[in-house]
Amino acid sequence: MHSMLRKIWVIIMVGTLSGLGFYIYRNLRPSAARSLNVREWIRHPQDHQGWAIQAGTRCGQAPFLLPTDGFIGYLWDDSFKLGHRHQGIDFFAGTGVDQTPVIAAYAGYLTRLPGWRSSVIVRVPQDPFQPDHQIWVYYTHMADQVGNSFISPDFPPGTLEKNIEAGTLLGYQGNFSGDANNPVGVHLHFSIVKDDGQGNFLNELEIRNTLDPSPYLGLPLNAAKNDGSIIVCKEPIQN
């Protein structure tokens, strides 16, 4: 009887562990593949020029311009660790800090809160896909690891609702993470943030407060739908 119980236990444990293992595998494998590509791109960008997209490009009929140069390393809803979901997309320059320009993907009203060293957010009164909704476009990591800002002097801390056009220079890619000892690889984190319905942006750190950027940029940027292939613009139009 005891050995029977033990067998049942073993079966339950094996089933649970393999289910968990499959869950981890399915959720982490594509972003693990992307991590390898990001590392390779950062080390040898010159060997992979076909991986790069260009700032100012409009992919097909997309309403937004691509906001910077580089390799699209991480996607919306990528998972770097269990339970974490990436709320935006990451463009890796393949250069040092303060070299690769970041431009506005879309026109709107730019705000930089007084404490923001590396970020700006642009209010778009009419979502091009849902004109009765307001959305916000967020750009970050535009500072070095100790927080020296690379944001354009046109947008000092405390800038409120400054009208900008698509293509306006916002700043340059950096590696600021908030922890000077652990900088990120040089990249732009870009996300589309929902409004709270009262004219304020929601907390960008929660994926449920963000939108899948795929249709806005005309690229397959949803991690759940991407098999790990390199993302480039198929029908580029240089503006």
**Any contact of residue 77 with Zn ion (CB under 5 A)?**
no
Site string for Zn ion, 151-190 (x = CB under 5 A): --------------------------------------x-
Yes or no: say if 221 and 231 are a contact pair by the CB < 8 Å rule: yes
Q: What is the CA radius of gyration of the chain?
A: 20
With CB under 5 A as the contact rule, the residue among 69, 77, 90, 144 that binds Zn ion is: 90
Task: For Cα atoms 102, 148, 97, give the angle at the middle one, nearest 5 degrees.
Answer: 45
Q: Which C-beta is closer to Zn ion: that of 123 or that of 189? A: 189
Yes or no: say if 121 and 138 are a contact pair by the CB < 8 Å rule: yes
Q: Which C-beta is closer to Zn ion: that of 126 or that of 203? A: 203
Task: Name residues whose C-beta falls within 8 Å of residue 132's C-beta, 6 or more positions apart in sequence.
Answer: 126
> Position 234: which residue type?
K
**Any contact of residue 112 with Zn ion (CB under 5 A)?**
no
Q: How far is the CB of 64 from Zn ion (least distance, A)?
A: 17
Yes or no: say if 67 and 219 are a contact pair by the CB < 8 Å rule: no
Options 85-93, 120-128, 155-163, 168-176: segment touching Zn ion (CB under 5 A) = 85-93
Query: Which class for 220: exposed (0-12), middle (13-18), buried (19 or more C-beta within 10 A)?
Result: middle
Residue nearest Zn ion (C-beta atom)? 189
DSSP string, 40-84: HHHH-GGGGGGGEE-TTEEETT-SSPP-BSEEEEE-BT--SSTT-
Q: Which C-beta is closer to Zn ion: that of 2 or that of 208? A: 208
Site string for Zn ion, 185-214 (x = CB under 5 A): ----x-------------------------
Q: Which C-beta is closer to Zn ion: that of 77 or that of 98? A: 77
Options 55-63, 83-91, 217-225, 227-235: segment touching Zn ion (CB under 5 A) = 83-91
Restricted to residues 1-30, the positions that interact with Zn ion (CB under 5 A) are none
Interacting residues toward Zn ion by CB under 5 A: 88, 90, 189
